[in-house]
Structure formats: structure tokens, C-alpha cells
Amino acid sequence: MIKKLIIYNTVFLILYVLGYNIHDFILLKQEISLPFSIDKVYLFHAGYSALICINFLLLATVNKYLDQLGFIYLATMLLKFILFSITFYKPIFSEENLTIYSRLSLFIPTILFLLTELIFVSKILKKKDSKN
């Protein structure tokens, strides 16, 4: 289990570093200014996704929560989007018209980390099903 914890943290750290640097490089190259910090967007998604995957790995070892892991995941996704909206409320909701670049800069890290998180959580859930 410790090996998986290290793998999860490493993958999310690599995604954060590569994703942010590539995204920032493209924005600087195109001379695009965003009303929010792209670094904080990537950091939020990396931290929250790593937290979800680590907690699911730990919860999968507790028999009491095995049948509820899917519902717990749905609740954590809802909480993630609520916390993201609260954290980035001002740049997202106070701007009347976000440019297409701003929208893409919010969408790309969300999808990147969500897909990675889904892969890890689905592997945990599949192993849970194979134990039953």
C-alpha cells in the first residue's frame, strides 16, 4: 500500500509540474493574461485529487466502507466542485465574460486531474469488487 501511495503522489506531482509549466509556457508565448493564477488552479486540482485517491486507497482497506465507496466518491466530487467555486469565486463569477483562453485554462487542469483521478479510483474499486 505504501508503494501505491508513493505512486499516486508522484503521478500527481508530475502532472502538476508538467501541466503547469507547459500551460504557463503556452500562455506566455501567446502573451495571454488570465484573471486568476493558473498555478493555484493546478495546485488545487493536484492536491485535492491526490487527497481523494489516497483516502480511497485507505478506505478500501476498511470493510465497513467497501460498499459505500462509489457514493463517497460522488460526494467528494461534489465537494471538490463546490470548494473550487468558492476558492476561485472572484475570477470566475465576477468576470462578466471570461475569454475562451480563461475558460480553457480552467477546463484543461480540471479534465487532466479528473481523468487521472478516475483511473486511480476505478482501479481501487475494481480491486474492491474482486475481493468480494
* The pLDDT of residue 131: 61
Tell me the per-residue pLDDT of 115-132, one tens digit each, with 9 for 90 and over: 999 999 999 888 766 665
Q: Are 73 and 121 in contact (CB under 8 A)?
A: yes
Q: Is 128 or 26 the better-scoring residue by pLDDT?
A: 26
Q: In this predicted model, what pLDDT tens digit does every residue of 86-100 receive, in sequence order?
A: 988 877 777 667 788
Q: Give yes or no for residue 5 having a pLDDT over 70.
A: yes
Structure-model confidence comparison of residues 132 and 74, the more confident one: 74
DSSP string computed for the chain: -HHHHHHHHHHHHHHHHHHHHHHHHHHHHTT---SS-HHHHHHHHHHHHHHHHHHHHHHTT-GGGGGGHHHHHHHHHHHHHHHHHHHTHHHHHSSSS--HHHHHHHHHHHHHHHHHHHHHHHHHHHHHHHH-
What is the pTM (predicted TM-score) of this model?
0.88
Q: For residue 88, give the C-alpha cell.
A: 476561485
The fraction of the chain above a pLDDT of 70, given in percent, is 95
Model pLDDT for residues 44-62, shown as the tens digit of each residue: 999 999 999 999 998 888 8
Could you tell me the residue ranges of all domains in the chain? 2-131
Q: Residue 9: pLDDT above 70?
A: yes
